[in-house]
């Protein structure tokens, strides 16, 4: 049986933004099976994105 992936490009707690809406910033909460589970900064709603749908916030 194949093990789920638990290591991704972005770290837990890292700020990212959605490529389709660069104004929406998120914080990575968890990475599991090639999906990033994120929360918005303002209303704390949960979202799920693939790696190709998000980008890191420049520091």
For the segment 15-45, what is each residue's pLDDT rounded down to a tens digit? 999 999 999 999 999 999 899 999 998 888 9
pLDDT band for position 2 (50/70/90)? Answer: low
- Residue 3 pLDDT > 90: no
Report DSSP state, residue 53.
Answer: G
Give pTM, 2 decimals.
0.85
Q: What is the pLDDT of residue 35?
A: 95
Q: What is the pLDDT of residue 44?
A: 87
pLDDT value at position 8? 86
């Amino acid at each position: 049986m194949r093990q789920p992936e638990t290591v991704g490009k972005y770290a837990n707690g890292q700020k990212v933004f959605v490529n389709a809406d660069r104004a929406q910033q998120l914080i990575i909460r968890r990475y599991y099976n090639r999906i990033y589970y994120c929360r918005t900064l303002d209303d704390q709603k949960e979202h799920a994105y693939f790696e190709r749908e998000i980008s890191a916030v420049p520091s």
